[in-house]
Amino acid sequence: MGRRVTAVKAKRSTSALQVGQLHALPGKIIKGEIDVARLPTDTWVSLPVALVNGKYDGRRLVLCAGIHGDEVSGVEIIRQVLSQVDARKLRGSIVAVPIVNIFGFIQQSRYLPDRRDLNRSFPGSPEGSLAARIAYLFMRDVITQAEYLIDLHTGSDHRTNLPQIRADLTDDDVRQAAIAFGAPVMVHARIRDGSLREAATRRGAKVLLYEAGEALRLDQPAIRDGVAGVFQVLKHLDMYEYEKKLPERQPIEIAKSTWLRAGRGGLLRLSKGLGDQVVKGTQIGIISDVFGDSKRSVRAKFDGIIIGLTRNPLVNRGDAVVHLGQL
Ligand SMILES: [Zn+2]
């Protein structure tokens, strides 16, 4: 009896991958830049872009980070993915843009110089503000080619996030990719107007938003889970076999979450951390005056898991201090 051959041999790709003025032949990785706009000094500012064109036919994945210029963990995730992926073994292609908001990155700021949020400026326009023009160019040159998009983010304003996928979990392709990513939690999140996620979804891309860690920090658990998650999705999309053993984790699904707010101003001392599971009524922290005489507890409003929290102990009454996902 002959051996049954069930595996279908991958088809060799013959097409070059093109983004802006960059192009990569099959089996090659190209790193370059695409021009965006001029600084007031007349200096051109450009986006760093990497093209990984697989040797074989397959899907197109876009990875991007730094839409908020101070969210640097995603930049590091993309660096590590690019250092490990081998284009000669890839089926399909990856377009990676590690710093979309290059102006914010230069200034170590979430925003653009005019305080606009790039992630509220999509799909953009060629005639609008700097934010609108960057969004337009990014959509035209990069996102129109995306079948899948992983958009990498961190917390803002001294807040840190448990590694989590936020996505439209009612879309089955998105849901399966979110499960494959294998972050500790996945959160069904409504789309925000003007976000890249909204604009890319309208263009037909399947979008995962990864939120993990804190702005202006290289958060190691966030980076580790992010790199593993990207490779898990590549495997799920039949694009790549990763040599290292990846953790197999079924994400906890969260349909509803709420921020617990400070009941008074003062100094916050948290007694629980990211990923801790709590039952309704559990004390998560105490806010007190400087002597500790007058206190107010922060308590869980329902049984849940801590998916975000503030790192800044100086709080005003009403500040969001702990993000609790309902279990
Ligand atoms: Zn962000």
Tell me the CA–centroid distance for residue 214 and ligand 1, in Å.
10
Contact criterion met (CB below 8 Å) for 192 and 120: yes
Tell me the CA–centroid distance for residue 102 and ligand 1, in Å.
14
Give CA 79 to chain center in angstroms. 14
Going residue by residue through the chain (327 aa), what tens digit of pLDDT does each one get?
444 444 557 899 888 999 999 999 999 999 999 998 888 899 999 999 999 999 999 999 999 999 999 999 999 999 999 999 999 999 999 999 999 999 999 999 999 998 999 999 999 999 999 999 999 999 999 999 999 999 999 999 999 999 999 999 999 999 999 999 999 999 998 888 899 999 999 999 999 999 999 999 999 999 999 999 999 999 999 999 987 777 778 999 998 999 999 999 999 999 999 999 999 999 999 999 999 999 999 999 999 999 999 999 999 999 999 999 999
Tell me the CA–centroid distance for residue 196 and ligand 1, in Å.
11
Tell me the CA–centroid distance for residue 243 and ligand 1, in Å.
30
Tell me the CA–centroid distance for residue 251 and ligand 1, in Å.
21
Using DSSP bridges, classify how beta strands 148-153 and 91-97 pair: parallel, antiparallel or unpaired: unpaired
Tell me the CA–centroid distance for residue 107 and ligand 1, in Å.
15
Crossing angle of helices 172-181/220-236, nearest 10°? Answer: 130
Contact criterion met (CB below 8 Å) for 147 and 155: no
Burial class for 275, CB neighbours closer than 10 Å (0-12, 13-18, 19+): middle
Tell me the CA–centroid distance for residue 325 and ligand 1, in Å.
19
Tell me the CA–centroid distance for residue 218 and ligand 1, in Å.
14
The set of residues, in sequence order, having a beta carbon less than 8 Å from that of 101 and lying 6+ positions away, is 66, 67, 68, 69, 111, 112, 118, 134
pLDDT for 8 equals 59
Could you give the domains of the chain?
17-252 (3.40.630.10), 256-326 (2.40.50.100)
Contact criterion met (CB below 8 Å) for 206 and 173: yes
Tell me the CA–centroid distance for residue 213 and ligand 1, in Å.
11
Tell me the Cα Rg of the chain: 21
- Other C-beta atoms within 10 Å of 95: how many? 24
Tell me the CA–centroid distance for residue 254 and ligand 1, in Å.
20
The two structure tokens encoding residue 307 = 């998916």
How far is it, in rounded angstroms, from Cα 202 to Cα 193? Answer: 12
Cα separations in angstroms, 69 against 72, 128, 133 = 8, 20, 16
Tell me the CA–centroid distance for residue 67 and ligand 1, in Å.
6
